[in-house]
Amino acid sequence: MTVELLRSFLVWTAVCNIAFLCVVFFLYLAYRDSIYRLYYQMFGVQEETISAVLFGAMFFYELSIFAFFIMPYCALRFFV
Nearest 10 degrees: Cα torsion 60, 66, 68, 69? 140
Contact 62, 21 (CB under 8 A): yes
Provide mean pLDDT across the span 54-67. Answer: 97
In a domain, 77, yes or no: no
Q: Let me know if residue 63 belongs to a domain.
A: yes
What is the reported pLDDT for 1? Answer: 82
Q: Domain range holding 20?
A: 3-68
Does some domain include residue 47? yes
Given a cut of 90, whether residue 73 has pLDDT beyond it is yes
How many folded domains does the chain comprise?
1
| Residue pLDDT, tens place only, 11-60 | 999 999 999 999 999 999 999 999 999 999 999 999 999 999 999 999 99
Is residue 17 situated within a structural domain? yes
pLDDT for position 19: 98
In whole angstroms, give the CA distance from residue 14 to residue 1: 19
